[in-house]
Amino acid sequence: MKISFLNIFFLLIIAKFGVAQNITFEASAPKSSQTGQPFMIKYTLKAPKKGKNFVFPKVDGLEIVNQGTSQFSSFSTTIVNGKMSSEQTITLVWSLTVVASIEKKYSIPSATVTVDGKTYSSNNLTIDVSKGNAQTSNTPTTQNADATVVTKDLLINLSTNKTTAYVGEPIYAYCKLFSVYNISLNEFNPSPYNNFWIKEIPMPTSIKAQEERINNKTYLTAVLDKRLIFPQKTGSITIDPYQATLQLYDGWGFPAQQKKVVSNTKTIEVKPLPSNKPASFTGGVGEFEVDMNADLITVEIDQAITIDFKISGLGNFGLFDLPEVTLPATFERLEPDFTENLSIQSDGLSGSQSVRYVFIPRVPGQYYVKPISFAFFDLQQEKYVILKTDSLKITVVGDSSSSFTNQVVQSDPTQLGNDVRFIKNSVKLKPQNNFIFGKTGFWLAYIIPLLTLGFLTFFMRKKIKQNADLKLVKSKKADKVSKKRLKLAQSYMVSNNNEKFYEEVSLALWGYVSDKMSIPRSELTRQTVVETLKSKNISDQIVSDFVKIIDNCEVARFAPSAVGFNPQQIYSGASSLISNFEKNI
């Protein structure tokens, strides 16, 4: 038991001795450097325990721009005299990035560190710093610009490559971070870019910071956001600032405070495009070329033709419409296929956009694809340029009747909508409430013709009478008058007044003929009556009866003694004669 105790004690001593032996603290640095050129000094402590209170000596002319620590530990196991022992080694590295501002030979005294209460010193270093060009590692162009911009230790800055532009002209805008501290980005809000159309330039998922020397200070810089912006309206447009929340770290890489930063704003003067826009201008700004071609120029019916239209160049692709390729309705057009091949550059989008049309001809014949014009605003020449493609001639061969008619499937017409009918384009204006009816002129239009007629009738009444009315009335009345006379005669016959009887009968007959035939009384003789009757185509029987009765009456009147006259017979003869006459006329 004793021996074993001693053994353990001995081992512990060895172990302790071994630890004491293993502690190393070394400094390393490049042998030479240049002014303005950052270089790294490394202090490596290897010890079984963590070192504390690292002190870097102050050296004039050297500035620490960045420092950090890294730590790793290792176990080593050793077997001595069949006994196994293991020990831990912790390696701690202090890395200091320093920049020399003056050229000279720097000697850096030893740094110190405390391990387990004991202080250890590193070796000394000497570095030969020659005159160097501080800008060599950075882009000189941004350096000068940044020098005026970077006024704080921590800021984000918005820059554009132009401050005046035409509407639709591509502008390159980017946001850059400058920081003298170790930072990480917590939150980042790009500007909304109101009144601009934006095309973002893709950024790597993790942004690597670079070191840049500006105004004799070393900054960590990173471009956080890049994009192409295209102004959409004229006038001076202010770009709203970017905003970011940054996490700051202390010298040893531990999180310190959070800081919110807001970038500057930027104002762009946007000029309108000249007003003499060509008809085919759809908004293109830049420099373009157009091309149109067909895969076939002679096709069979129902065989598809592909027509490609392509615009290539540099400019605001996506902000103008592609012109349309058209063919007559005898071609069926399939949905056009749109492709683009664009890359984003700081001076615009470059590449091409193209549309592929597929047409299927249905009717044979010769057709032309009309030349397509495309106008754009050339930024170099500052004027509109019109491009025109060649027209394409397409010949379609084949028999139309077979295929095209098969295509038609009849159905009810499809109603798409309903609306009121369209307005009328011709008009005849009339005064409102203008009525002729009831006006003086209206009444006069009746009265004047009526009075005229009245006067005419009055002045020409003789002629009117002569002409017509009396004759007609007499003719109509002749029958009645003669019948009246015969009635009177009959009454005489009853009263045996023979002389009066014969007189009335003959008067009735004479009067009747006179009225009916319109023979004036003065001309009334047997001769004229017979002639008139004959001229009016009265039958001979009637004429002879008339003459006979008239004669009998004369004889009876003037020679009453003569016998053989029966008044009854004469009366009936006269009345039958008149009724025959009426029928005959």
Partner 1 sequence: MSKIYSVIVLVLFSFAVKAQTDSLLLTFDAANKFYENNNFQSAIDSYEQILATGYEASEIYYNLGNSYFKNNNFPYAILNYERALKLKPNDDDIIYNIEYSNLYIKDQYNQVPDFIIDKIHTKIVHSADSNTWAILSISFFILSLIVFMIFLFSKIIIRRKIAFFISILFMFISIVSFAFSSNMKSYFQNPNAAIMMEISTLKSSPQTDGTDLFIINPGVKLIIEDKNTDWFEVKLPNGVKGWVKKDMLEVI
Is the torsion defined by CA of 510, 511, 512, 518 positive or negative? positive
Size of the site for partner 1 (CB under 8 A): 39
Rule CB under 8 A: which of 557-576 touch partner 1? none
Bridge partners (DSSP) listed for residue 183: 248
Q: How far is the CB of 460 from partner 1 (least distance, A)?
A: 7
Q: Which stretch binds partner 1 (CB under 8 A): 271-279, 293-301, 414-422, 502-510?
A: 414-422
Q: How far is the CB of 277 from partner 1 (least distance, A)?
A: 20
Give, as one character, the DSSP assignment of residue 334: P
As a whole number of angstroms, the distance between CA 573 and CA 544 comes to 12
Token pair 């670079």: residue = 210
Nearer CB in complex with partner 1: 52/439: 439
- Rg for the chain (alpha carbons), in Å? 67
Do the beta carbons of residue 489 and residue 504 sit within 8 Å?
yes
**What track of x and - describes contact with partner 1 for positions 469 through 498 (by CB under 8 A)?**
---x--------------------------
Question: Which is nearest to 512 in space by CA: 545, 466, 552?
Answer: 545
Q: Which of 2, 31, 58, 430 binds partner 1 (CB under 8 A)?
A: 430
Q: Which of 74, 210, 215, 467 binds partner 1 (CB under 8 A)?
A: 467
φ/ψ (deg, to 5) at 560? -60, -25
Q: Which stretch binds partner 1 (CB under 8 A): 198-206, 310-318, 430-438, 497-505?
A: 430-438
Do the beta carbons of residue 191 and residue 240 sit within 8 Å?
yes
Q: How far is the CB of 437 from partner 1 (least distance, A)?
A: 5
Q: How far is the CB of 517 from partner 1 (least distance, A)?
A: 15
Q: Which of 80, 304, 448, 559 binds partner 1 (CB under 8 A)?
A: 448
Give, as one character, the DSSP assignment of residue 48: S
Contact status: 422 vs partner 1 (CB under 8 A): yes
- Between the alpha carbon of residue 400 and those of residues 105, 300, 331, the distances in Å are 96, 10, 12
Q: Which of 453, 494, 559, 585 binds partner 1 (CB under 8 A)?
A: 453
Question: Which is nearest to 290 in space by CA: 266, 315, 313, 267?
Answer: 313
Nearer CB in complex with partner 1: 233/461: 461
Q: How far is the CB of 481 from partner 1 (least distance, A)?
A: 21
The contacts of residue 142 (CB under 8 Å, 6+ apart) are: none
φ/ψ (deg, to 5) at 362? -115, -20
Contact status: 457 vs partner 1 (CB under 8 A): yes
CA angle 41, 47, 53 (to 5 degrees): 60
Q: Which of 13, 20, 198, 444 binds partner 1 (CB under 8 A)?
A: 444
φ/ψ (deg, to 5) at 233? -140, 165
Do the beta carbons of residue 351 and residue 341 sit within 8 Å?
yes
Q: Which of 433, 440, 537, 561 binds partner 1 (CB under 8 A)?
A: 433
Token pair 């060509």: residue = 278
Contact status: 449 vs partner 1 (CB under 8 A): yes
The contacts of residue 180 (CB under 8 Å, 6+ apart) are: 65, 153, 154, 217, 218, 219, 220
As a whole number of angstroms, the distance between CA 206 and CA 404 comes to 60
Q: Which of 80, 145, 445, 585 binds partner 1 (CB under 8 A)?
A: 445
Q: Which of 208, 428, 462, 521 binds partner 1 (CB under 8 A)?
A: 428
Q: In angstroms, how far is CA 470 from the centroid of its own chain? A: 90
Nearer CB in complex with partner 1: 343/432: 432
Rule CB under 8 A: which of 244-273 touch partner 1? none
Q: In angstroms, how far is CA 557 from the centroid of its own chain? A: 121
Nearer CB in complex with partner 1: 75/435: 435
Q: Which of 410, 427, 521, 583 binds partner 1 (CB under 8 A)?
A: 427
Q: Which stretch binds partner 1 (CB under 8 A): 198-206, 292-300, 374-382, 419-427?
A: 419-427
Q: Is 531 left (phi over 0), alpha (psi -120 to 50) or beta?
A: alpha
Contact status: 436 vs partner 1 (CB under 8 A): yes
Nearer CB in complex with partner 1: 413/431: 431
Q: Which stretch binds partner 1 (CB under 8 A): 157-165, 212-220, 423-431, 487-495?
A: 423-431
Q: How far is the CB of 426 from partner 1 (least distance, A)?
A: 7
Q: Which residues bind partner 1 (CB under 8 A)?
A: 418-438, 441-442, 444-446, 448-450, 452-453, 456-457, 460, 463-464, 467-468, 472
